[in-house]
Structure 1
Amino acid sequence: MNEKKEFTVKKERNTSIDLLKAIAMFMVVILHTIKYGLADVEFVKASKIVCDVLQGVSIVAVNCFVLITGYFMCDTTKINWGRLLRLWIQVECFSIGMYMMMCVVPNTGITFNVTDLIRNAMPLLTNQYWFVTCYFLLCIIAPFLNVFINAVENDEYRKVLIILTILFSVIPSINIFGDQFGTENGYSLIWFCILYLIAAYIRRMDNFISTTNIFFGIFLSLTVINIILRIVGDYVPEIIQVLIRNSAVAYNGSIVLIMSVALFEYALNKKTQMSSKVTKVASLSFGVYLWHENNNVREYIWNQAKLSNVADNWLLLLVKILGVAILVFTIGILMESIRRVVIYGGRLFKNYGMHD
């Protein structure tokens, strides 16, 4: 039957989603640790496999963040200017703060000048953080997406999602001729909007599959496939390498999309009540991204990590990647904690993130 389902109001907080947020941010750090800390490094085979495994598991992180956003924002009817203001203040604090900090840290090559200060004071316009720019724009257009979501019947909604998924995930996954539809491997507002619509559909259908093990099984199975594709990617013709990158590495790749939705659904259905500390860490986790992915800090962090020194020993490399990621994550949590206390006068654990 052609019908719409009303969004249900969930009064009890699902701390499994908070845990997913924290884990997803740690996954982001893992991805950046490998991407920047081991750039242009020649690996022995075992070390390369370690990186492939870590990246294969972690590649869902960004998609999960956006799915969480879509799920919890799809019932809004107006632009949440308060959310945008809090986000803008948070980003400004880190963008300007990291720049000023690096100006006084020795041997960074960064010196103070007014032009750079102005550039760092406008992180959204200068695309200091690509994710923040896309997320900020998504928050602005979300109420208009919600007009469509609330107006369309279930059958039409399903058809729209199928068409969008084919156009912006399936076709790019098998297209060896380049990015013709502007998805930019998932680094785009277009892809964020599609994830938003998928999450809203999940919310509307009220978790149409109730067995959490199914979702975890799908995630685990496709993660193994993702890892295998990454490993064999070094030994196949270039055209196959392109297909692997499109489907298993790009955020909008079909394999990555299904992995992301499965993990999100697993967390959504798990509904395990955890310690309030999980919620507190999750609410602070966005600061982890803002500090370590800052343009002024990024190169300094990964140069100091010196991961290349252990690239020829897979076990030491694994331990160091995880150790560095934990350290980067912890520093980000502490920085955001301090910022909250300074800016909001001690209201440390009010959740200003994507899962309000």
Structure 2
Amino acid sequence: MTDAKYVKKAPRQSNLELSRILAMYLIVMHHFSVHGGVPIWSGSAPLSFNFYLDQLLSTGGKIGVNLFVLITGYFLAKKFSKFSSLIYLWIKTFSYVIVFFLLFCALGLHPFNWSSLISCFFPIRNDFYWFVSAYFLLILLSPFITIGIKALGQRKLFTFLLIFGFFWSVIPTLTTKPEYYGSTLFWFVYLFSWGAFLRDYLERKIFSQSLCLSVCGASWGIIAIIIALADWNNRVGTFIGYIDWFTFANLYSVFSLICALSLFVFFKQMQIGYKPWINKFAAAMFGVYLIHENPIVYPWLWSKVFHVPEYLGSSWFILYALAVITIVFFICAILDLIWEKVLQSGYQKYLFPRLQPLDKRVTDFLNAPASQK
């Protein structure tokens, strides 16, 4: 009989870790487009094929965010996130905020003032990182969400997903009024619930991978067509009125949701086993976001370093765009892998041992029978 404490935990399969990498690449692609200085939202900006391509690059970002949160829901649906993990999430976010603030001030790229320095100590807020703010709250609430999901059962959970999706995704997309319901945290709870549902559902149901890619391609193709029609309509001034094309590609869009769900199922059913280098690289994806989307870094990165608008008229604009996106993506990943090593060594040595008793107390509380809570 094997002693439980000597049982080695099986390594996480790399299929969904690969999808995490794709999700973050799509997010970087989105930021190239929306922060690059090209007025992709303008209904009067001069049209060109490159302008249209730049608009298309922006459509991957919200698909990537949705996919990233789906993955989180899938993995946390069967276990509670440790309180120490939440503390580490705050520490890592804070470390990037304070380091880049001090570095850019020292280099004369950003003005120093005491109020900005003090604000660095409160990095979990929307004007720093909207995604991290909502994601942090999602992880904080995830044990209670998971308890609720288990209480519902698969059939009731699926009914909830359909009803919520109709009112928070289908109707806002068709009416182009996402602000009617808008709450990023509620949307993340919804995506988390989808991840939890698919964890059990995909154990007994198999989907063709070609079908998944076809559904994703068709949904994204509809977005691409709508952008082209909206560009034409917004300049011709037809009786339809102004069309906000990004409503069809934003976070709540039913097309973005379908793309993310189909990509998730595609990767979930991919058989690639455990690849250590994929898992290691995927662990840096959150850091990629924290670096390139830092509110001090990104205005300098896209405008001062890469001068995106200057290349819009070039015949090789799309090659330039993909090269820049890939360079930013990999440099940020490498920087995070290095910084993670430094941060983890200090965290594991000094803070984690002190948080373990608190982890146990929180876990015991969440696992206690309802009559004891």
Specify if TM > 0.5. Answer: yes
Residue 272 of structure 2 aligns to a residue whose secondary structure is coil
* Structure 2 Cα separation of the partners of residues 319 and 332 of structure 1: 20
In the other structure, the counterpart of 1:351 is none
Offset, 1:301: 0.8
Corresponding pairs, count: 330
* Structure 2 Cα separation of the partners of residues 47 and 170 of structure 1: 30
In the other structure, the counterpart of 1:98 is 100
Structure 1: which amino acid aligns with 2:273?
Answer: Q
The answer (yes or no) to whether the contact 2:38–2:308 under 8 Å persists in 1 is no
The answer (yes or no) to whether the contact 1:14–1:268 under 8 Å persists in 2 is no
Structure 2: which amino acid aligns with 1:194?
Answer: Y
Offset, 1:209: 3.1
The answer (yes or no) to whether the contact 2:33–2:55 under 8 Å persists in 1 is no
Structure 2: which amino acid aligns with 1:118?
Answer: I
Offset, 1:58: 4.8
* Structure 1 Cα separation of the partners of residues 254 and 160 of structure 2: 17
In the other structure, the counterpart of 1:55 is 58
Q: Segments of 4+ in structure 1 off by > 6 A?
A: none
In the other structure, the counterpart of 2:136 is 136
In the other structure, the counterpart of 1:354 is none
The answer (yes or no) to whether the contact 1:64–1:264 under 8 Å persists in 2 is yes
Structure 2: which amino acid aligns with 1:312?
Answer: G
Q: Which has the larger radius of gyration?
A: 2
Percent of residue pairs bearing the same amino acid type: 25
Q: Which residues in structure 2 correspond to 1:14-163 (within 5 Å)? A: 14-40=13-39, 42=45, 44-76=47-79, 78=80, 80-106=82-108, 108=109, 110-125=110-125, 127-163=127-163
Distance change in 2, residues 1:44/1:279 (3 Å): same
In the other structure, the counterpart of 2:340 is 340
In the other structure, the counterpart of 1:284 is 284
Offset, 1:121: 1.7
In the other structure, the counterpart of 2:363 is none
**TM-score (structure 2 length as normaliser):** 0.82
In the other structure, the counterpart of 1:7 is none
The answer (yes or no) to whether the contact 1:174–1:243 under 8 Å persists in 2 is no
Task: Please provide the CA RMSD for this pair.
Answer: 2.4
Structure 1: which amino acid aligns with 2:24?
Answer: M
Distance change in 2, residues 1:43/1:21 (3 Å): farther
The answer (yes or no) to whether the contact 1:71–1:203 under 8 Å persists in 2 is yes
Structure 2: which amino acid aligns with 1:190?
Answer: F
Offset, 1:206: 2.6
**TM-score (structure 1 length as normaliser):** 0.86
The answer (yes or no) to whether the contact 1:340–1:347 under 8 Å persists in 2 is no
* Structure 2 Cα separation of the partners of residues 252 and 178 of structure 1: 7
Residue 153 of structure 1 aligns to a residue whose secondary structure is helix
* Structure 2 Cα separation of the partners of residues 260 and 147 of structure 1: 25
In the other structure, the counterpart of 1:352 is none
Post-superposition CA distance 1:58-88 (Å, at most 9, x none): 5410000000000000123x45212101111
Unaligned runs of at least 5 residues, structure 2 = 1-8, 349-373
Offset, 1:337: 1.8
Offset, 1:240: 6.9
The answer (yes or no) to whether the contact 2:12–2:274 under 8 Å persists in 1 is no
